[in-house]
Structure 1
Amino acid sequence: MVVSDCNREEEEEKHHVDVVGVGEVNVNGVVKNRLGEQMLEEDPNGNSETSVRNGEISTTVRWGPNHSGVKQLKLLYGTGKRVQEIVSIVFCTTLLILNGATLISRVEIAHLPTILVAVFFGIVAADFLSGLVHWGADTWGSVDLPLFGAAFIRPFREHHIDPTSITRHDFIETNGDNFMLPTIPLLYLYYKLITNEGFYAQNVGGIYFTFLLAIFVAMTNQIHKWSHTYFGLPGWVCFLQKYRVILPTKLHRIHHISPHQTYYCITTGWLNWPLEKLGFWRLLECWVSRSTGYQPREDDFKWAHHTVSHCTKSCRN
């Protein structure tokens, strides 16, 4: 049984439970997993459905690295994209180090309460933005969209066909786009810190909010990758997942239940439950549809076997 080291004891304990307890028997006597299209913890690549026929457990391969859609999507990852990712990572990392060193040198005890509050809201903001981008890329547009399709929508569509393809991507391919996003705010922040002596004292909260937001935005896809990594994670990553500082594997599995229209936040996952209770994403879909008249086409989801949400369909009427 191959599972994440972080959850090994819990999963092994569950393994002793009768498999019929997690399924439903249909008229043919087949027990299907209630979560249907989810990743299975026993399947590191998330490409199988479990069923029981004549008392024997069997798996059926759904999709994965050999899926024709995955192969086509991989062809869209070119040299130019690779160069952009390398430049983004080098530039952003340099700015994070420069800003971090500057902030450490200016920390004062009196500022700690403000810093802690700013850090918390910076992390929350990063989680929300991760969900917003994830929702946007999953719900709208196509891989054929000029400029953005192949570069930014493609990885999300590939991910739903082959959920753990991200674990086979190196650090550059995994994180290049996310490291690009905070470069301008970090550059501005560093410029103000070194050119304006009063800037730090006057903007402590905003500075630390921006800095932590930048860190967690940059690391979002790495955190996402860890949530799909089923073995060999460092102990400190397991610790952070266990105590929900970053997105844990079990929580992210909910998003991978077809049709993948829930739990979009992939940084810490803190906002997934409240946003779902509010129906936030469905309401946002309706607002976009009614405001712009644009609807996601069925073939926009051909790569990931998506379906258009009930709310979006209703907005067409």
Structure 2
Amino acid sequence: MMAFGPIHSINDNMIGNKCMPEDTDCDFNDNQSKQFRWGPNHVGAKQLAQLYTNGKRYQEIICIIIASILILVDFLYLIYYFDASKWCSIVLAAFCGIISADFLSGFVHWMADTWGTVEMTIVGKAFIRPFREHHIDPTAITRHDFIETNGDNFMAIIPGLIYLFYFFRSNDYKIIYLNYNWICYLYLLAIFVAMTNQIHQLSHIYGPLPVWIICLQDMHIILPRKHHRIHHISPHETYFCITTGWLNFPLEKLHFWSTLEVIVEVMTGCKPRSDDLKWAQKGLHSNIDSNSLNIDEQKVIPSH
């Protein structure tokens, strides 16, 4: 698979030293990149990590259990209705599922990185918080267990899997056979969406990894480590797709994300990444009030 070229320079020394471009130890000339520290000792990173609660943990566990059951049940239906003559169309459905998952990962990533605040009701702490934490402590994801890493992605695929289950239960063989390719596409899309954050986590691990994972990264079948580091150059405004990263280069050439940002800013007056920058500056300015986030020490659990 072709490894689409970067638009920023990332040298091998940075990767070898396990430093992100935001770190002042990195060899960067960009003053904006140098002024912010990163990592688990960053003031903002500590506050954000504290917002991972027992309630959030239970939500992730429940979603993983439900999604896993639906994945198995829908897979059994797919096997039951499988027709060997459809191999080529199934491969095409898999490819389309990967491309769609890559785009969706980019769109959700762009939305959460660029807009909204941690203080927003419900979605702020539950879903925007991890994105803010990730930019000022990019290695935090490598310390998360399977549940914390994948809980939200498994939650996202539940509606689609329920739809497939309903489709299998409410239609006869002929209708299912005629729509089998479409069903395969939706199912494989759900699988790739579920895998996305696990793939993302692997792109941040520079310690020992299984050889087959490194091969998949090197062949750009899944998100490569060096490729993803482009996104982590401040101000985190490009290369949002994190399933395979195949769409990052073409979308950047089309100015896709920057065009969307201009449209949203004109329509709403909101500045892109303003909340992200606020958290990054937490170590320099006390402009985020812990009390406003309602951190309850009794309900907070450590990040896994």
What TM-score, normalized to structure 2? 0.81
1:77-118 deviation per Cα after TM superposition (whole angstroms, max 9, x unaligned): 111100000001111111111111221232212212221221
- 1:266 and 1:282 map into 2 onto residues whose CA distance is 18
Q: Which residue of 2 aligns with 1:167?
A: 142
Q: Cα distance, 1:260 vs. partner?
A: 1.0
SS state of the match for residue 264, structure 1?
coil
Q: Cα distance, 1:300 vs. partner?
A: 4.8
Q: Cα distance, 1:294 vs. partner?
A: 3.4
Match of 1:246 among 198, 212, 222: 222
1:154-173 deviation per Cα after TM superposition (whole angstroms, max 9, x unaligned): 11111110111100011111
Once the two structures are overlaid, the 10-residue window that deviates more, 133-142 or 234-243, is: 234-243
**Closer, same or farther: CA 237–300 of 1 in aligned 2, 3 Å:** closer
Answer with 1 or 2: which has the greater Rg.
Answer: 1
Q: Which residue of 1 aligns with 2:17?
A: 43
Higher RCO, 1 vs 2 (CA within 8 Å, ≥6 residues apart): 2
Match of 1:154 among 106, 129, 132: 129
Q: Which residue of 1 aligns with 2:188?
A: 212
- 1:205 and 1:289 map into 2 onto residues whose CA distance is 39
Does the 8 A contact of 2:138 with 2:204 survive in 1?
Answer: yes
Aligned letter for 1:248? P
1:193-250 deviation per Cα after TM superposition (whole angstroms, max 9, x unaligned): 1332233212122111101110111111100000001122222222221222210101
- 2:13 and 2:144 map into 1 onto residues whose CA distance is 18
Aligned letter for 2:186? T
- 1:200 and 1:304 map into 2 onto residues whose CA distance is 51
SS state of the match for residue 143, structure 1?
coil
Asked whether 1:103 is paired with 2:78, we answer yes
SS state of the match for residue 269, structure 1?
coil
Does the 8 A contact of 2:94 with 2:188 survive in 1?
Answer: yes
- 1:50 and 1:74 map into 2 onto residues whose CA distance is 24
Q: Cα distance, 1:45 vs. partner?
A: 5.7
Q: Which residue of 1 aligns with 2:203?
A: 227
- 1:180 and 1:49 map into 2 onto residues whose CA distance is 38
Give the 5 Å matches for 1:1-317. 40-44=14-18, 46=20, 47=23, 49-50=25-26, 62-198=37-173, 199-296=175-272, 298-304=274-280
Higher strand share goes to which structure? 1
Aligned letter for 1:135? W
**Closer, same or farther: CA 201–192 of 1 in aligned 2, 3 Å:** same
Q: Cα distance, 1:305 vs. partner?
A: 5.3
Name structure 2 gaps, 5 residues minimum: 1-7, 29-34, 283-304
Once the two structures are overlaid, the 10-residue window that deviates more, 131-140 or 282-291, is: 282-291
Aligned letter for 1:113? C
Does the 8 A contact of 1:166 with 1:174 survive in 2?
Answer: yes
**Closer, same or farther: CA 286–90 of 1 in aligned 2, 3 Å:** same
Does the 8 A contact of 1:141 with 1:296 survive in 2?
Answer: no
What TM-score, normalized to structure 1? 0.78
SS state of the match for residue 303, structure 1?
helix
SS state of the match for residue 40, structure 1?
helix
Q: How many residues align?
A: 267
Q: Which residue of 2 aligns with 1:14?
A: none
1:36-57 deviation per Cα after TM superposition (whole angstroms, max 9, x unaligned): 9x992123364552459xxxxx
Does the 8 A contact of 2:135 with 2:232 survive in 1?
Answer: yes
Name structure 1 gaps, 5 residues minimum: 1-32, 53-59, 307-317
Aligned letter for 1:98? V
C-alpha RMSD of the superposition:
2.6
- 1:201 and 1:160 map into 2 onto residues whose CA distance is 46
Q: Which residue of 2 aligns with 1:13?
A: none
**Closer, same or farther: CA 122–228 of 1 in aligned 2, 3 Å:** same
Q: Which residue of 1 aligns with 2:300?
A: none
- 2:94 and 2:126 map into 1 onto residues whose CA distance is 31
